[in-house]
Structure 1
């Protein structure tokens, strides 16, 4: 019996040692680096293209990158006690050294397609692999424009201090670029309401990212493979770094938005007012620049998404 216990103790000791080595490897070795490339991108600079780019920037980039100086100069995104660590969003103004002025247009397009930065690091939240070439070109054109939001800022946000979870996800390849062949992408026609709504909700705007189960398990390349797709429950920090769980926006009549009308959804997205004149939490942006046609297309697509009976309130209370 003593011999068995001794052998078990040795195996347990080896297991603990291996575990400590794994933890040390995750915590103290450098993060993976990838080759930054330049890809072709067409930048239309007419007023229509700039207006399209402005809409994307104001609905997506502003949320994470709006700095104290009123420009897209970066801000504290998560505190040190967040599982991802202390992360500041980047300065994406046109500063030639501290912003995206150091990127060529092709390098910037590659960053948005793959998440690979000029220094070889990986920025998963910058990645829009399914955005159309037209939207991508308009986005970059606006970031290169003379709009006040993107004028050069001297702000230099601190480098991320990633937590163990973020390091592990990157080192084990969960958060890693998928170097699939970069092909031309065309958006569906707006008159194909369901297809266009899916495109807007998954490729242009961050609807599925916030309203699925978790940022860690989202599938940016095939969004509908994300666990809890549009069923909510994703823990998100608000502007005061309090945790708010995203809403279930499937058509569940009791736990989602299945009792809403299309007009209710349009009003909620544009103004933050849900049925009954109750205000949505401020962690949900007010998308005033989205047209009724665009929001109606997203609504049409949500009608086709499998219903999830996910009780977000119970999730929030449990945590």
Structure 2
């Protein structure tokens, strides 16, 4: 739906990872095989495998959290650098409470706040898989070094006391077996809420009033997936949801990119159809939550084909965004924005990216492109803001101009994008207040300590005077 962490109160997971097949050969031991299947549903391989050929589950993948890069750990059964010496109890405590055998706390970029719901039986199956179904990799991973005070892992004990609901999943007797299965998959294993729920000032999920109502994930925005028909997925059929979860594409509705594309590539496409149907059934019955701002547009039915690309050809004065669209986008998405007939390049209207009430995902898609492989077939759009790929082919101003042209012509939206928004997205997205406050925390603590010292000295002097 996107590890390992640290802080005084913390972090947002980027549910993503390297391009590595999530599936491996079935195991012969039934418990190990069950654990393998659960690891796919939990998308463990994506975050615990380094890019460019890293050994599966050997860690080293850098998660760009708002507080700084967090490196995933080696979870192979290596006894020198992995979890080979963990007991089942120690594995369970790390998985569900975020505490390592040495007592050090993990950061909630490893979504233990969701994994805490995993049952005892499934925890044992996962443990059996990682101990007996994964090849040990005796290689170290880079140490996570966040700035003070986030480097103080012990502070996570206070954060957990405030925000960790250390409880196993309990089926709702009023719901069907299928809906309960979908809830367990979505909330515990697939940890959908870690991306699709906004966070409070201390970076904990707002599970009550805004659960699954959408949240920022770096430069991307994980949209509302409640049953609200206008702002969520209430207007989707269950069949459409199942198709999207398996392929990342629904004609004239949505295409997966960024962290969601990675979740589909490594995890969701490998789940049984019955599991995907259960997740869809669960999402369709969640309480509807509308946009925080009234009047936000419906995402999926806005805009129409446009003739502007044809009409502006040859004119002396044309929109700057049109020039970029004509040169970089029209060949694939077609001059009128209808996309290709086979869906490889989607239409730009009736599109959740161009019809949204915010431009995050449009900007991020232009900057970072699209890359997902489903059924062995890659779906690809180049990253026009990637310096490595295109020597910074499009500047912040150019991406803003292109975004405004696409929004005006195909999104039916009054949204406007400026170069500063693109600059922030290119730098990793808007920083939360906690991250913005970090440079001032140490000086503030020093001033506080000095004031306490002055107060103590004054108290001692008063007592001596008496």
TM-score (ref. length: structure 1)? 0.70
Match of 2:137 in 1: 153
Aligned counterpart in structure 1 of residue 35 of structure 2, from 53, 71, 83: 53
Uncovered stretches (5+) of structure 2, i.e. residues with no partner: 1-7, 9-26, 297-355, 361-416, 422-429, 431-466
For the residues of structure 2 that align with 1:52 and 1:293, how far apart are their CA atoms? 16
Going from structure 1 to structure 2, the CA distance change for 1:281 and 1:179 (only over 3 Å counts) comes to closer
Give, in angstroms, the shift of residue 173 of structure 1.
5.1
Match of 1:231 in 2: 213
Aligned counterpart in structure 2 of residue 176 of structure 1, from 135, 139, 160: 160
Give, in angstroms, the shift of residue 117 of structure 1.
0.3
Match of 1:113 in 2: 96
1:203 aligns with 2:188: yes
Contact 2:116–2:168 (8 Å) recurs in 1: no
Match of 2:224 in 1: 248
1:296 aligns with 2:277: yes
For the residues of structure 2 that align with 1:217 and 1:110, how far apart are their CA atoms? 20
Contact 2:58–2:73 (8 Å) recurs in 1: yes
Give, in angstroms, the shift of residue 265 of structure 1.
0.6
Contact 2:145–2:151 (8 Å) recurs in 1: no
Kindly provide the CA deviation profile for residues 28-62 of structure 1, in whole angstroms up to 9, marking residues without a partner as x. Answer: xxxxxxxxxxxxxxxxx974433331122223211
The number of residue pairs the alignment matches comes to 261
Aligned counterpart in structure 1 of residue 198 of structure 2, from 210, 213, 221: 213
Residue 80 of structure 2 aligns to a residue in which SS? coil
Going from structure 1 to structure 2, the CA distance change for 1:137 and 1:191 (only over 3 Å counts) comes to farther
Runs of 4+ in structure 1 deviating by more than 4 angstroms, as ranges, are: 167-170, 177-191
Going from structure 1 to structure 2, the CA distance change for 1:244 and 1:151 (only over 3 Å counts) comes to same
Greater C-alpha Rg:
2
Give, in angstroms, the shift of residue 154 of structure 1.
2.5
Contact 1:114–1:179 (8 Å) recurs in 2: no
Give, in angstroms, the shift of residue 184 of structure 1.
7.8
Aligned counterpart in structure 2 of residue 314 of structure 1, from 351, 354, 358: 358
Match of 1:5 in 2: none
Aligned counterpart in structure 2 of residue 260 of structure 1, from 217, 233, 236: 236
Going from structure 1 to structure 2, the CA distance change for 1:228 and 1:126 (only over 3 Å counts) comes to closer
Residue 201 of structure 1 aligns to a residue in which SS? helix
Going from structure 1 to structure 2, the CA distance change for 1:234 and 1:48 (only over 3 Å counts) comes to farther
Give, in angstroms, the shift of residue 306 of structure 1.
2.0
Contact 1:64–1:74 (8 Å) recurs in 2: yes
Going from structure 1 to structure 2, the CA distance change for 1:180 and 1:64 (only over 3 Å counts) comes to closer
Residue 56 of structure 2 aligns to a residue in which SS? coil
1:133 aligns with 2:115: no
Give, in angstroms, the shift of residue 107 of structure 1.
1.1
Going from structure 1 to structure 2, the CA distance change for 1:75 and 1:183 (only over 3 Å counts) comes to closer
Give runs of aligned pairs for residues 19-34 of structure 1, distance below 5 A: none
Over aligned residues, Cα RMSD in angstroms? Answer: 3.4
Kindly provide the CA deviation profile for residues 222-266 of structure 1, in whole angstroms up to 9, marking residues without a partner as x. Answer: xx43x5211112324xxxxxx211121112223222211111111
Kindly provide the CA deviation profile for residues 195-221 of structure 1, in whole angstroms up to 9, marking residues without a partner as x. Answer: 2222221122211211111392227xx
For the residues of structure 2 that align with 1:61 and 1:212, how far apart are their CA atoms? 20
Kindly provide the CA deviation profile for residues 163-194 of structure 1, in whole angstroms up to 9, marking residues without a partner as x. Answer: 45745896275633689998887767996122
For the residues of structure 2 that align with 1:277 and 1:159, how far apart are their CA atoms? 41
Uncovered stretches (5+) of structure 1, i.e. residues with no partner: 1-25, 27-44, 237-242
For the residues of structure 1 that align with 2:226 and 2:103, how far apart are their CA atoms? 38
For the residues of structure 2 that align with 1:181 and 1:83, how far apart are their CA atoms? 23
Match of 2:17 in 1: none
Aligned counterpart in structure 2 of residue 100 of structure 1, from 83, 90, 107: 83
TM-score (ref. length: structure 2)? 0.49
For the residues of structure 2 that align with 1:276 and 1:180, how far apart are their CA atoms? 39
Going from structure 1 to structure 2, the CA distance change for 1:78 and 1:307 (only over 3 Å counts) comes to same
Residue 161 of structure 1 aligns to a residue in which SS? coil
